[in-house]
Every structure is written in structure tokens, then in C-alpha cells.
Amino acid sequence: MKKIMILGFGAMAHEVIRRLPKGISVGWIVARASHHAEIQDLFGGKVDALESPMACAETPDLVLECASQKAVAEFGEAILRKGWKLALISTGALADETLSQTLKQAAQQGGGELQVLSGAVAGMDGLASAREGGLDQVTYLSNKSPASWRGSPAESMVDLDNVTEAQVFFEGTAREAAKQFPANANVAATIALMGIGMDNTQVQLRVDPNTQKNTHTIHASGMFGEFHIELCGNPLASNPKTSTLAALSAVQACHRLVGGDLGDERWNG
């Protein structure tokens, strides 16, 4: 039986817990103290509720981040320096170049392993393969409902209550998108990491009052040729900011753990 630690106890963590594969159990959940009683009730006291992963005296088989970019910045280095395996959903944290380098060094020095999950988007294996031959251009368009942009800087860029047609409210690099929209633009960061980097990946963010889905459109061209991918995903019913597919990518990381394979995109110590 593999035993994992989960960072976070929000909508995504609940979805992952609900779908955990056989052979995987939750040993620890890192969350705010206000959630600890709920965690104890959910698991009948069989899971340790912690405020920091460093309070864990054992070694999890995998630390699964389902929290936020802030959690990556707060705990990532210490986790990797302990030689643990850390799988990220909040890949936008790596848009901070200093943090990205810190995590790489921690993995190298501590023997830990950092895995970038595919999250809410598909086709990352093809994009990484295309990178090997040389990519000339990668663009990404994110199209979401007004509800999915609430609580983000989009509220100061567009009138979410009265928008009547699809409207682009941000254009910039993946690094800029991930930093300005930490809860909404992890896909942009993932595409950049798998492709031509944070500063060379061009991003558009759009609000569309006529959709309930999160649509991700990627266009890449280079020596290999070109491809165009469009994915229309459903947000979690419990949180419109969170993609169902992103939660499923975390579940898939657990499946790979049982199979002994943690995926392709890893920083090893």
C-alpha cells in the first residue's frame, strides 16, 4: 500500500480523495487548522492533519500538491530537500524564476523529485516531443465563463457582471499570466514548461458569458510541423475555478505511483 500526503483540502483535494485508486491511501493532509476537525471526521482519525509537511516523521511515497502557488513557495523547497517526491498542480509557481531555481537546487541537493502534472490540458507529451526538434512558436488561449474568473484580477479588467460577448482581457507571456492570475493560469505555465519557456509562450485570457466550460486552445509550430489542440473541459461543480481534468491528472499521478512510474517531466536529485 502506497501512502501519500496531500497539500490542501479544497475542491480539488476532495475530488482526488474521492477517486483514489486501489493501493493508495492518504496518510497526511496539510491544511489550515480550521480544517483539521473536518479531516479527522472524514477519515475517522486515521489521517494526520498537519499545518506543515515538516511535522510528518515518516516518508510519504508521494506529496501531491492540490493547494496553491503559495503552498508551493512555502513548502516546496523543504519537501524536496528531505528527498521526497512532489507532484505539482499549481505549476504557475514556477513562473517565479528564483523559486524555480530554488526548487531545482533543492531536488538536486536533497535527492527529491519534482513532477509537473499535465493539469487541465492535454497534448503535453506531443509538445515536449516537438521541443526536442525545435519549436518556433507556441500560443495559448484560455476561454472561461465569468464565474471562473471571479476573485481574480479579471474583475478589474472587465465587467464580469455585464459582459455580453467573448472578450480578451489579457495578452502577454506565460510568465506574466501565471504571476497575475495564480488561481487561473496554471495551464499557461504548464504549456510553457513543456514547450519554449515562460517568456516565449504567448497567452490570451478571455471571458465568455455564453459558455460554462473551460476551453484551452494551443497552437504550436516548428521543425516538426504544427499542431492545433482545443480542449473543452468541465469545471468542478464545487469550484468553477478548478478544472475536473486537473483533478483527474492528480489521480493519474497516484495510478502511476502504484505502477512505479511518476511520469515524464521530473527534476531529480
Q: Any idea which residues carry the catalytic annotation?
A: 216
- C-alpha 43 chain-centroid distance: 25
From 151, 119, 163, 155, select the one nearest 240 (Cα to Cα): 151
Strand order in the sheet with 62-65: 48-50, 24-30, 2-7, 62-65, 85-88, 113-116, 266-268
Using DSSP, state whether 154 is helix, strand or coil.
Answer: helix
What does the alpha-carbon distance between residue 95 and residue 171 come to, in Å, rounded to a whole number?
A: 16
Give the whole-angstrom CA distance, residue 236 versus residue 247.
Answer: 9
Q: Is the dihedral of CA 74, 190, 117, 112 positive or negative?
A: negative
In whole angstroms, give the CA distance from residue 245 to residue 236.
9
